[in-house]
Structure 1
């Protein structure tokens, strides 16, 4: 297993309210970049997680554990959400699907 794909774990920080203008500031992002093993999700795993076959589903393995809170993952410029995660002794795996 090669951990050669850069994965960005993104936390969305909501913009603060400005009482002088009455507007909210733009949202900002806190990104943490890790390298992971990214592969297509097997048909059997998709049946267990989703109940059917879902296009655009990936399986991501990260060495160690991801203890920081995050809202989405960015892989190759595309946004993904976590559908299932599993913490093993020395790594953590995620089953993710693309967000439109």
Structure 2
């Protein structure tokens, strides 16, 4: 198994309030890079998690646990949300689906 795919864990930071204008600033996104093994989700796993077969579902496996807080995951130009997470002894796996 090769851990060669760059995976970005994203955390959205809300814009700060400006009392002069009464508006909030633009949101920003903080990304953390990790390299992972990314593969398609098997049909058996999709039926267990979703109850149906979904397109755009991936399995991501990291060599170590990821403990930071995050909102979503970016792989390439596509954004994914975490549907299932599992910590093994030294690895961390995520089943994700694409945000449309």
Q: Given the two structures, how large is their TM-score scaled by the length of structure 1?
A: 0.98
In the other structure, the counterpart of 2:93 is: 93
Q: Distance in 2 between matches of 1:52 and 1:29?
A: 32
- What is the RMSD computed on CA atoms of the aligned residues? 0.5
Ranges in structure 1 where 5+ consecutive residues have no aligned partner:
none
Shift of residue 16 of structure 1? 1.1
Do residues 71 (structure 1) and 68 (structure 2) align? no
Shift of residue 42 of structure 1? 0.1
Shift of residue 69 of structure 1? 0.2
Q: The residue matched to 1:33 in structure 2 has which SS?
A: strand
Do residues 45 (structure 1) and 42 (structure 2) align? no
Q: The residue matched to 2:48 in structure 1 has which SS?
A: helix
Do residues 22 (structure 1) and 22 (structure 2) align? yes
Ranges in structure 2 where 5+ consecutive residues have no aligned partner:
none
